[in-house]
Chains A and B, each alone.
Chain A
Amino acid sequence: DIQMTQSPSFLSASVGDRVTMTCRASQSINNYLNWYQHKPGKAPKLLIYAASSLQSGVPSRFSGGGSGTDFTLTISSLQPEDFATYYCQQSYSTLVTFGGGTKVEIK
């Protein structure tokens, strides 16, 4: 199975901050990398697919980058509704796998 490693596990930031989190795959996955936002008690929400494509309806402050094994998710100006846990997911393999998550908390 392809292992996905996210860092950091926790990120403390303030409203208006620019934040970046990373996701590393154990082997090349080309650009088959997706990002999700998850809030407690809610359905996970797709933010970015194919590494850098913004899902319809997602604010443009979210952006994704990278290819191969190393990927990033950036929030250009953190908003109060952005405090959540973010997961990367590889869909290169038939057995998809998620990273362990990055929890974004209020400083």
Chain B
Amino acid sequence: AQSVSQHNHHVILSEAASLELGCNYSYGGTVNLFWYVQYPGQHLQLLLKYFSGDPLVKGIKGFEAEFIKSKFSFNLRKPSVQWSDTAEYFCAVVTGFQKLVFGTGTRLLVSP
């Protein structure tokens, strides 16, 4: 069965620090990959997605992610975080059956 691993459960950073959140998936076929964010008290929102093409994907709010097929990874990065980036981040993969499989999430706390 498909699975998604997020290695960092809690991350604490100071403003302006760089961020990288790890995501690995297990599925041998074609996958579509997503990063979602959930700000406190809000819906899940899409940060970025990868379907095909350039493996370096740019999303909203300065986030980007790189798909490395050989490593089954789709790590999320941001060069300089802000206090407003405090949220929970979920990596997800969808297979040909349209079902989203989520990782366990990473809680990011950015201190001002």
Q: Bound pair: A and B?
A: no
